[in-house]
Amino acid sequence: MTGTRAAIRYAKAILELAHEQQTTEAVFSDMVGINATIAGSQELQSLLNNPVVKDELKKASLLEIFNTVTPITKNLFELLLLNKRLPLIQAIAQQYEVLFNELKGNKIAVVTTAVPLTEAMKAKVMGKIKELTTANVTIENKVDESIIGGFILRLGDMQFNASVSHKLGQLKREFSNNLYVSQI
């Protein structure tokens, strides 16, 4: 929890600085790249979270991997090094993305499916999203085979559950209730 609050604070500060320097979109691009790269590399995650590895080596690695980032992002690496917070870089990048999208009026719809979304499925989900909101929405797909089929759509604090596992659960409850009522 502390890491998340700290990440939010750093992300807000970076967004404010980027806004002042009119580079919010460039820094957003940096943060998307940082988040995706760290999420996709177990080795990089291990390096950043390893307390034995010196912070200077961590920073040098980040600067080598992300050599095309903006000066604001490079300064963030330096600040995190000074404050011994380099392991927070991915969480900061994620929080920056959230804050940037809020600033731009964009929303992210998390769609959980049993298999990766196809274009036809995306169109169907976007149709449902258009019923729920008029905001500009980006779809983020998460795969969870336990839902069996269908999808679960989360948009902010709204949820639409059209999964097979949810429908099976409803049927089970109905049968249980009917069985209980018929015994009385």
Domain boundaries, the chain: 2-102, 106-183
What local confidence, expressed as pLDDT, does residue 68 receive? Answer: 92
What do you get for the CA distance between the two ends of the chain, in Å? 49
Count each helix (H run) and each strand (E run) in the chain, helices first: 8, 4
115-120: average pLDDT: 89
- Longest C-alpha distance within the chain, in Å? 73
d(CA 162, CA 160): 6
CATH architecture designation of domain 2-102: Orthogonal Bundle (1.10)
The verdict on pTM exceeding 0.75 is no
Which carries the bigger pLDDT value, residue 17 or residue 174? 17
List pLDDT tens digits, range 81-115.
999 898 999 999 999 988 998 888 888 888 898 89
Q: Name which of 29-43, 55-69, 93-107, 167-181 the model is least confident about.
A: 167-181
E-assigned strand segments in 20-173:
106-113, 136-143, 150-155, 158-163
Residue 1 has pLDDT above 50, yes or no: no
